[in-house]
Amino acid sequence: MRVAVTGGGGFLGSHLCEALLRRGDSVVCLDDFSTGDPENIAPLLSHPGFAFQHADVSVSAEVAGRVDAVAHLASPASPPDYLRRPLETLRVGSRGTENALRLALHHDARFILASTSEIYGDPLVHPQEEAYWGNVNSIGPRSVYDEAKRYAEAVSAAYRRTHGLNVGIARIFNTYGPRMRPHDGRVVSSFITQALTGEPLTIYGDGKQTRSFCYVDDLVRGLLALLDSSEMGPFNLGNPVERTVTELAEAVLAMTGSPSEVKHHPLPVDDPVRRRPVITRAREVLGWEPEIDITEGLRRTVAYFAARPDRLGASAAAIRGGQDETVPLTAVTGAATATQTIPGPAAETTGATPATAGPSGSGG
* 74 secondary structure, DSSP code: -
State the distance between the two ends of the chain, measured CA to CA, in whole angstroms: 22
Catalytic residue among 82, 120, 132, 145: 145
Distance CA 152, CA 296 (A): 33
CB 301 within 8 A of CB 188: yes
Local structure of 117: helix, strand or coil = helix
Residue among 18, 21, 163, 146 at smallest CA distance from 83: 146
Question: What value does the CA radius of gyration of the chain take, rounded to a whole number of Å?
Answer: 19
215 is catalytic: no
DSSP H or E stretch at residue 355: none
Q: Spell out the residues 6+ positions from residue 257 whose beta carbon is closer than 8 angstroms to its own.
A: none
Q: Which residues contact 27 (CB under 8 A, 6 or more apart)?
A: 2, 3, 4, 5, 8, 17, 20, 21, 44, 49, 50, 51
Residue positions annotated with a catalytic role: 145
